[in-house]
Amino acid sequence: MKVRARTTHGRLLSAAIVAASLAIVAAPSAFAQDESTGPAGDDQIVLTGELLVPEGETVGTAVIFNGDATIEGTVTKSVVVFNGDVEIAGTVGDD
């Protein structure tokens, strides 16, 4: 019984060390992704309600489920609307 308990403890310790190592390695790449929004801007996703891209604002892709979209600014990729209407007074790249 003692040998089995030590083996289980050793496995848990090994798993904890591996998890901590992966967290340390993955952390810098996660921070690097947050710092660069890129020229396309961030994507905007709305589940219910209204999606608005105001004049002077740029987003990558705009997606809304169950609501209307109003694009007065710039969408560099696509606008996707499910169960709603879209009004484009700005610019959409992939329309």
Secondary structure (DSSP) of the chain: -HHHHHHHHHHHHHHHHHHHHHHHHHHHHHHHHHH---TT---EEESSEEEEE-TT-EES-EEEESEEEEESSEESS-EEEESS-EEESSEETT-
pLDDT tens for the chain, residues 1 to 95: 455 555 776 777 777 676 666 666 555 544 444 443 445 568 999 999 999 999 999 999 999 999 999 999 999 999 999 999 999 999 998 75
pTM of the model: 0.57
